[in-house]
């Protein structure tokens, strides 16, 4: 393998793979951080980690998983798949594409070099002022945090611009906006959301850096600044960010469930439109992260209503995925197992999220382990399960070989069992009054027992992730050769070779419906000739 060719590449497939490998690397790092936390919390009053170290680790775990795992993984899948799915030979701006990736690497480097420069950031992934101000966090960790995130968000904006232009201008003839594969459709909406949300984060980071390095007082109440201002700015970015991370996962699930149910997606138009509704609503719900601040009831109620409304388009998606299963001929590959598990885990996480839109419940449960449980049901049970599904589904396209199904099944059961053991009990801990972000806790009835169950689950989950990594590596050598279209799928990427040649396609099939390869394989009953299918 030619290292220089990889480092200087502007091929969207190589850049996509680099993104995914970067995400995998940081997934291991963030996972080890999680293990260290679970070790410290496995019994009351443990002294395995000092509060200083614990606070750095939970801050880095959250920041890493969001900005260095989920974001690069999803952008990586997008960069790899979008041109193939629309029948293009590359992204619209290949050099910009490479820049976006290298900014991500730079951001990750800045975040982690802080360990060698006097201590990692330790004010949590949302870094509330004034705790993150110089007065209360004098060491440079928070500066590295803000600078690292600036690079990472610049990388995301670049990727988003590139997606919008690529999807707008490079689609194969016949691929109208209503015939886009749902993954591409959702990536388009998501890119617009990134462009809307990221500026708020960048502004907040610049203000924080001004406070810390130039003695400005944006967030300092003793000089007329406002700590609440930080919260508004951060969550104007932060809540859309949750959807920015979960929408591409929805896109993957919307590709995988139909193929393995052997049926087209149920209600394409509703799945697509509900994405728009989610993106729009997500820009108006940020205050539900701030319900515990004394803000005024009418103001809060508006945001509560908007937050609850998001349940409707999300429900539409879940029902459409479930309806796609009904009447199908379901093939349980590892990818499909993860996709079906996603459906249940994500529904669960979505419902526990509804609790936080119900303001009085939020007034009890926000910033407890109930939140930790909820967000992991969405972030792991939702996003990570979709990524596992996507990895097993597209690995043969990317490498030319199938992943081992037996190792895949082992991964699946270990991850499902480990994940639910780890996080289900945390709901109960939150209800019992355990705050989040504590490095230790008193020996109250059941707290020790529930925490040790959680830690035990985390070990199983960690080992499951290890099996997954082994499968990724060994299948490169021992995997069965996949051929162009191992799943008998319908979108254009499966018409390319596996792995695709440098310019992707020899010849792009004609697109006359949402399932061009179905039409090709079934000239007797093409979708474009079926009512509702074109």
- Scan residues 328-347 and list those touching other proteins (CB under 8 A): 328-332, 340, 343-344, 347
State how far the Cα of 528 lies from the Cα of 534, in Å rounded to an integer: 4
State how far the Cα of 464 lies from the Cα of 328, in Å rounded to an integer: 29
3-class DSSP state for residue 6?
A: helix
- Scan residues 219-238 and list those touching other proteins (CB under 8 A): 221-222, 226-228
Give the single-character DSSP code of 429.
Answer: H
Q: Verify binding: residue 283, other proteins, rule CB under 8 A.
A: no
The upper half-sphere exposure of residue 54, i.e. CA atoms within 13 Å in the direction of its Cβ, equals 16
* Among the listed residues 256, 266, 242, 142, the one whose alpha carbon sits nearest the alpha carbon of residue 194: 242
- Scan residues 393-432 and list those touching other proteins (CB under 8 A): 431-432
* 5, 117, 326, 449: which one binds other proteins (CB under 8 A): 326
* 140, 308, 520, 529: which one binds other proteins (CB under 8 A): 308
Q: Verify binding: residue 36, other proteins, rule CB under 8 A.
A: no
Number of residues that bind other proteins (CB under 8 A): 89
How many of the other CB atoms lie within 10 Å of CB of 532?
A: 8
- Scan residues 101-130 and list those touching other proteins (CB under 8 A): 123-124, 128, 130
Q: Under 8 Å CB-to-CB from 258, ≥6 apart: which residues?
A: 264, 265, 324, 490
Question: Judged by CB, which is closer to other proteins: 102, or 270?
Answer: 270
Tell me the sheet residues that pair with 435: 368
Question: Judged by CB, which is closer to other proteins: 77, or 370?
Answer: 370
Phi, psi of 306 (to 5 degrees): -60, -40
Cα distances from 241 to residues 1, 70, 201, 237, 350, in angstroms, run 36, 11, 10, 6, 16
String of contacts with other proteins for each residue 341-380, x by CB under 8 A? --xx--xx--xx-xx-xxxxx-xxxxxx------------
* 7, 32, 305, 476: which one binds other proteins (CB under 8 A): 305
At its nearest, how many Å lie between other proteins and the CB of residue 295?
Answer: 8
- Scan residues 43-62 and list those touching other proteins (CB under 8 A): 50-52, 55
Q: Verify binding: residue 520, other proteins, rule CB under 8 A.
A: no
Q: Verify binding: residue 433, other proteins, rule CB under 8 A.
A: yes
Q: Verify binding: residue 178, other proteins, rule CB under 8 A.
A: no
What count of residues does the chain have? Answer: 534
At its nearest, how many Å lie between other proteins and the CB of residue 475?
Answer: 23
Residue whose entry in the numeric block shows the structure tokens 């029902």: 319
* 118, 138, 327, 483: which one binds other proteins (CB under 8 A): 327
State how far the Cα of 72 lies from the Cα of 88, in Å rounded to an integer: 22
Question: Judged by CB, which is closer to other proteins: 27, or 348?
Answer: 348
3-class DSSP state for residue 65?
A: helix
State how far the Cα of 257 lies from the Cα of 346, in Å rounded to an integer: 15
| Dihedral sign (CA 477, 479, 484, 490) | negative
Q: Verify binding: residue 448, other proteins, rule CB under 8 A.
A: no
At its nearest, how many Å lie between other proteins and the CB of residue 360?
Answer: 4
Question: Judged by CB, which is closer to other proteins: 267, or 499?
Answer: 267
Q: Verify binding: residue 437, other proteins, rule CB under 8 A.
A: yes
Q: Verify binding: residue 176, other proteins, rule CB under 8 A.
A: no
State how far the Cα of 481 lies from the Cα of 499, in Å rounded to an integer: 11
* 1, 4, 116, 297: which one binds other proteins (CB under 8 A): 297
Question: Judged by CB, which is closer to other proteins: 361, or 452?
Answer: 361
State how far the Cα of 1 lies from the Cα of 418, in Å rounded to an integer: 36
The stretch near other proteins (CB under 8 A) out of 23-31, 185-193, 199-207, 312-320 is 312-320
The stretch near other proteins (CB under 8 A) out of 68-76, 185-193, 319-327, 448-456 is 319-327
At its nearest, how many Å lie between other proteins and the CB of residue 246?
Answer: 17
The stretch near other proteins (CB under 8 A) out of 2-10, 287-295, 451-459, 499-507 is 287-295
Q: Verify binding: residue 266, other proteins, rule CB under 8 A.
A: yes
At its nearest, how many Å lie between other proteins and the CB of residue 497?
Answer: 24
State how far the Cα of 255 lies from the Cα of 120, in Å rounded to an integer: 39
Q: Judge contact between 514 and 174, C-beta under 8 A.
A: no
Name the burial class of residue 160, with classes exposed (0-12), middle (13-18) and buried (19+) by CB atoms within 10 angstroms of its CB: buried
Question: Judged by CB, which is closer to other proteins: 156, or 334?
Answer: 334
Q: What angle do CA 437, 439, 445 make, to 5 degrees?
A: 95
Question: Judged by CB, which is closer to other proteins: 275, or 368?
Answer: 368
Residue whose entry in the numeric block shows the structure tokens 């969207």: 12
How many of the other CB atoms lie within 10 Å of CB of 474?
A: 13
Q: Under 8 Å CB-to-CB from 278, ≥6 apart: which residues?
A: 243, 247, 310, 313, 314
String of contacts with other proteins for each residue 65-104, x by CB under 8 A? ----------------------------------------
At its nearest, how many Å lie between other proteins and the CB of residue 165?
Answer: 30
Q: Verify binding: residue 281, other proteins, rule CB under 8 A.
A: no
Q: What angle do CA 453, 456, 458 make, to 5 degrees?
A: 110
393: left (phi over 0), alpha (psi -120 to 50) or beta: alpha
At its nearest, how many Å lie between other proteins and the CB of residue 210?
Answer: 19
Q: Judge contact between 84 and 496, C-beta under 8 A.
A: yes
Give the single-character DSSP code of 380.
Answer: I
What is the largest distance, in Å, between two alpha-carbon atoms of the chain?
Answer: 75
- Scan residues 135-154 and list those touching other proteins (CB under 8 A): 136
Q: Verify binding: residue 263, other proteins, rule CB under 8 A.
A: yes
* 102, 270, 413, 424: which one binds other proteins (CB under 8 A): 270
At its nearest, how many Å lie between other proteins and the CB of residue 130?
Answer: 5
- Scan residues 192-221 and list those touching other proteins (CB under 8 A): 221
């Amino acid at each position: 393998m030619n290292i220089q060719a990889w480092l200087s590449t502007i091929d969207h497939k190589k850049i996509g793979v680099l993104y995914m490998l970067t995400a995998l690397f940081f997934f291991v790092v963030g996972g080890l951080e999680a293990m260290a936390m679970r070790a410290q919390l496995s019994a009351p009053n443990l002294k395995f980690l000092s509060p200083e170290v614990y606070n750095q680790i939970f801050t880095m775990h959250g920041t890493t998983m969001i900005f260095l795992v989920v974001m690069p993984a999803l952008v990586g899948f997008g960069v790899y798949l979008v041109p193939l799915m629309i029948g293009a030979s590359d992204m619209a701006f290949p050099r910009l594409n490479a820049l976006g990736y290298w900014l991500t690497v730079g951001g990750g480097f800045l975040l982690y070099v802080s360990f060698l420069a006097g201590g990692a950031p330790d004010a949590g992934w949302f870094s509330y002022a004034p705790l993150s101000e110089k007065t209360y966090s004098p060491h440079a960790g928070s500066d590295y945090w803000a600078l690292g995130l600036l690079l990472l968000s610049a990388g995301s904006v670049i990727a988003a611009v590139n997606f919008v232009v690529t999807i707008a201008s490079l689609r194969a003839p016949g691929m109208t906006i209503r015939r886009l594969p749902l993954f591409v459709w959702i990536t388009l909406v998501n890119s617009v959301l990134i462009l809307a949300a990221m500026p708020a984060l960048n502004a907040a980071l610049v203000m924080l850096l001004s406070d810390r390095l130039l003695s400005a007082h944006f967030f300092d109440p003793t000089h007329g600044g406002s700590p609440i201002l930080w919260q508004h700015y951060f969550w104007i970015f932060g809540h859309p960010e949750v959807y920015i991370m979960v929408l591409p996962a929805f896109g993957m699930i919307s590709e995988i469930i139909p193929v393995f149910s052997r049926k087209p997606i149920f209600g394409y138009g509703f799945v697509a439109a509900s994405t728009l509704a989610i993106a729009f609503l997500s820009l108006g719900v940020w205050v539900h992260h701030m319900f515990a601040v004394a803000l005024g009831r009418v103001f809060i109620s508006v945001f509560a209503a908007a937050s609850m409304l998001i349940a409707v388009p999300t429900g539409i998606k879940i029902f459409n995925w479930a309806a796609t299963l009904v009447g199908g001929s379901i093939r349980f590959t590892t990818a499909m197992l993860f996709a079906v598990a996603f459906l249940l885990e994500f529904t669960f996480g979505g419902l526990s999220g509804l609790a936080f839109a119900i303001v009085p419940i939020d007034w009890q449960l926000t910033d407890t382990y109930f939140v930790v449980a909820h967000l992991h049901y969405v972030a792991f049970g939702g996003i990570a399960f979709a990524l596992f599904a996507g990895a097993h589904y597209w690995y043969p396209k990317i490498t030319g070989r199938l992943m081992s199904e037996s190792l895949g099944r082992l991964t699946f059961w270990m991850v499902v069992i480990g994940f639910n053991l780890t996080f289900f009990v945390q709901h109960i801990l939150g209800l019992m009054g355990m705050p989040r972000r504590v490095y230790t806790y008193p020996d109250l009835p059941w707290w020790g027992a529930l925490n040790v169950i959680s830690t035990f689950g985390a070990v199983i989950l960690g080992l499951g992730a290890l099996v997954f990594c082994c499968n990724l590596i060994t299948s490169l050598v021992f995997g069965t050769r996949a051929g162009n279209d191992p799943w008998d799928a319908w979108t254009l990427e499966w018409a390319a070779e596996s792995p695709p040649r440098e310019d992707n396609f020899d010849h792009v099939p004609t697109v006359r419906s949402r399932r061009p390869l179905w039409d090709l394989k079934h000239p007797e009953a093409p979708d474009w000739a079926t009512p509702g299918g074109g």
